[in-house]
Structure 1
Amino acid sequence: MENNESFSWGSTITAPHMYPIEIHKGYLANDKEMITGYISTGTSTGDWGYGNNAYVGGKTIPTNLSLTWISYAEKKFWKIEAVLPHDKILALFKEGYMDKDRKGEWSHITYNDITVGLAPGGLVVVWLTGKKRSVEIAHYQAVETFVSANEFYRNPHEDTQEEFYDWSFKSEVPKETQAYIKENGIPVNLWNNYRTKYNYRFNIHFYKVDKESSDRRLRYVNGEEEVIEVKNAGSYQNRALPSYGRFFFSQYNAEVQFDGEEVLNAFKKISKNHPDKSIEIEAKVAFMYKTTTFTVKCEDEEIPLEKTVVKMWKN
């Protein structure tokens, strides 16, 4: 791959969970031609960093991104015109990464998607994504724009712009998100704060003697993802905070879903109280592997992660 100058890729669009968006129009291009176009294919949401609306891609590396979309929760349209880091994208495609199959055999593969994330507040993040791997390559700030309801959709009922916004908010935004916005407002800075990286590690304690039996899989609140080899699992690393984890022990496995805001608030507090200190997420595996609890620790301070959802099963 290191000698290749072109790579086959597709493009996907994503938005934060429960904050849906919909594309109006756009494209990825290079200096000579448009490579792939974006059109409305319905509402996009899901997990931040993992696209669910797929578009045709290309083989040449894009240099320009253009997108206009509606953020239903905010009742507004956004637009981005950005120059992509061509050399960085090409270098990452060439570098690729190592992947282990079900037989335990490692092979050198590379990314297969350019994923564009669109968050409230106009934050735009671009990742290269592949099998069990996602890495941020750029982020941008979009500007608010105007698209009339008549231009955006057929508008058979001749809704006014405000009626269109209100109707879309009620029909497209989940009830839980509507309630959260009513009480707290839209957390427009949250996904930019998720991009902050901390020096930390997981420290796992077992009721009986045990160890991790396979490589650990982690997703992060900034949309990145990786597989960490067992031999490196206990080391401190500068990375984004976890949103999801798969842990494999000798007899049982754990699937963990973290609450992003809870983890972020815990790390903000503990890093403020202990500046420049390494932080641990302590995991305690309970008797008979009934569950695993997680606590953020630094020196003598501990903050339990009480909203973490853990599923344990026998392997």
Structure 2
Amino acid sequence: MSTSSGCYWRIAELPYDSWRLGLFAPNYMEVWIETADAVDVRDRVFRRAMSGIAAINTPKDLKGDPRGWPERPGAGKGKQVLGADLPRLIYVRWQSLVEPQTYEAYIVIPEPTRQAMVKGEKTFCQADAKWIFGYRDVLTVGLAPGGIAKVWLMGACLAPIDVARVQGTVVKEGPDSGRSGGQYALPLDPASKAYIEKHGIPYGSW
């Protein structure tokens, strides 16, 4: 098996034990993740590497701004993908609770991203004023209304790298693959509901 560059990175060569998959949503744009699955370069599938509520801020004063993506996103809510080689594909199926609508997206991880994951860099951490040697070992996925999935490669004290922006598709069966009778996982937080009623959903900003 080979990638477009002619080789696969093997897990024995990884400079860390595991990489992390994290997910978040813009302010007030609440998301329930039905599943986030990872496929590594050896075509092994790690199902439900993450599920549940995505990381989000819902300021009660309604002054949070959900438009666009942050310049330096957080790591999101997630887990370490234990035992995986470098990622080839991320599959996410999620409920956009503010619409409401259910989407799925297939996110192909390009070879340059995998190469960046095993390239260590010396960087300065402002929080404790120390230099460290670190790796970008976190894939962060932002999920927005309209089925938008945006992906960054992150690492402690290292600048994030844009990986991909994917337009997901509507899951025709609805939430929980039709097993919930059209019922979404959670009711909206009162602050999210109030923000949507006042300002609407800023489609096109993501």
TM norm structure 2: 0.70
1:87 aligns with 2:112: yes
Q: 1:97/1:16 Cα in 2 relative to 1: closer, same or farther (>3 Å)?
A: farther
The equivalent position to 1:11 in structure 2, one of 9, 15, 21, is 21
Quick check: 2:19–2:80 contact (8 Å CA) kept in 1? no
Partner SS state of residue 52, structure 2: coil
The range that moved more, 16-25 or 141-150, is: 141-150
1:22 aligns with 2:9: no
Q: 1:53/1:32 Cα in 2 relative to 1: closer, same or farther (>3 Å)?
A: closer
Q: 1:28/1:149 Cα in 2 relative to 1: closer, same or farther (>3 Å)?
A: closer
Q: Tell me the number of residue pairs that the alignment of Structure 1 and Structure 2 aligns.
A: 177
Partner SS state of residue 54, structure 1: strand
1:131 aligns with 2:186: no
Q: 1:65/1:105 Cα in 2 relative to 1: closer, same or farther (>3 Å)?
A: closer
Shift of 1:188: 1.9
Equivalent residue, structure 2, for 1:143: 169
Partner SS state of residue 53, structure 2: coil
Q: Which runs of 5+ in 1 are unaligned?
A: 193-315
Higher relative contact order by CA 8 Å / sep ≥ 6: 1 or 2?
2
Equivalent residue, structure 2, for 1:34: 44
Quick check: 1:80–1:141 contact (8 Å CA) kept in 2? yes
Q: Which runs of 5+ in 2 are unaligned?
A: 1-11, 58-69
Q: 1:66/1:96 Cα in 2 relative to 1: closer, same or farther (>3 Å)?
A: same
Equivalent residue, structure 2, for 1:46: 56
The equivalent position to 2:142 in structure 1, one of 110, 117, 131, is 117
Equivalent residue, structure 2, for 1:272: none
Shift of 1:98: 0.8
Equivalent residue, structure 2, for 1:60: 85
Shift of 1:54: 2.3
Partner SS state of residue 86, structure 2: coil
Equivalent residue, structure 1, for 2:3: none
List, as ranges, runs of 4+ consecutive aligned residues in structure 1 with deviation greater than 6 Å: none
Question: Which string of whole-angstrom CA distances, capped at 9 and with x for unpartnered residues, describes residues 164-215 of structure 1?
Answer: 24x84xx2x232322232233211222x2xxxxxxxxxxxxxxxxxxxxxxx
AA aligned to 1:32 is R
TM norm structure 1: 0.48
Q: 1:97/1:69 Cα in 2 relative to 1: closer, same or farther (>3 Å)?
A: farther
Identical-pair percentage: 23
Quick check: 2:171–2:177 contact (8 Å CA) kept in 1? no
Pick the structure with more helix per residue.
1
Equivalent residue, structure 1, for 2:199: 184
Equivalent residue, structure 1, for 2:132: 107
Quick check: 2:42–2:85 contact (8 Å CA) kept in 1? no
Q: Separation in 1 of the partners of 2:108 and 2:21? A: 16
Quick check: 2:147–2:168 contact (8 Å CA) kept in 1? yes
Shift of 1:102: 6.7
Partner SS state of residue 32, structure 1: coil
Quick check: 1:11–1:57 contact (8 Å CA) kept in 2? no
